[in-house]
Amino acid sequence: MDSFWGNIFRETDEESVYSLLRDIPLFDELSSGELSSVKSILHRREYDPEEVLFHQGNPGVGMYIIQEGTIEIVYEPTDDTLAELSDGDFFGELALLNETPRSATAVARTESVLYGLFRPDLLGLVRRDPSLGVEILLRMSQVISERLIQTNEQVQQLREQLSHLKEAARGT
């Protein structure tokens, strides 16, 4: 039975949210029922061009999934663009695990629609449905560990490049 408030605050693009979630590695192995539980804790937000999602240094509260639009991740002290993300990308997932401050600023470059998943809601879901919570957290740790492996490989490559440069400098 649809609830009273559900009717008042009805969202229009239900199906597109499911397909959006299925494409995110964190949720790609969840059943329709489990996806429905995740969808029930998402917050839909709309942003105008140049609107800031969050500032570097603000407390990290959760992650965003881009349904449509372009989001730029900017390192504030130098104004360097760290990444430009678009439809289907997600960011800020580390904030789901701990309360560390945001490491960069996120700005909408075009009109954008995003879905936010936030730590208090995720913790609530974990308490209500521990098996689903474990599944999401396990998948999250897999995604983070894959990124860690990639980062380690990049660090290794950079170290090798650095040692080559040092040797070349000694030779000259």
Radius of gyration of the chain (CA): 19
Query: Nearest approach, Cβ of 23 to other proteins (angstroms)?
Result: 23
Stretch of 36-44, 66-74, 83-91, 153-161 contacting other proteins, by CB under 8 A:
36-44
- Residue found by looking up tokens 């936030």 in the block: 118
**Angle of helix 130-171 relative to helix 119-128, nearest 10 degrees?**
130
Where are the strands (E) in the chain, listed by range?
43-47, 52-54, 62-68, 71-75, 80-85, 90-91, 105-108, 112-118
Per CB under 8 A, 89 contacts other proteins:
no
Per CB under 8 A, 23 contacts other proteins:
no
Q: Which of 9, 12, 79, 170 binds other proteins (CB under 8 A)?
A: 9
Query: Nearest approach, Cβ of 8 to other proteins (angstroms)?
Result: 7
Q: Which of 21, 30, 62, 72 binds other proteins (CB under 8 A)?
A: 62
Q: Which of 61, 97, 137, 143 binds other proteins (CB under 8 A)?
A: 61
Write the CB contacts of 74 (distance below 8 Å, at least 6 apart in sequence): 56, 80, 81, 82, 104, 105, 106, 107
Site residues (vs other proteins, CB under 8 A): 1, 3-6, 8-9, 40, 43-45, 47, 51-55, 57-59, 61-62, 116, 118-120, 124, 127-130
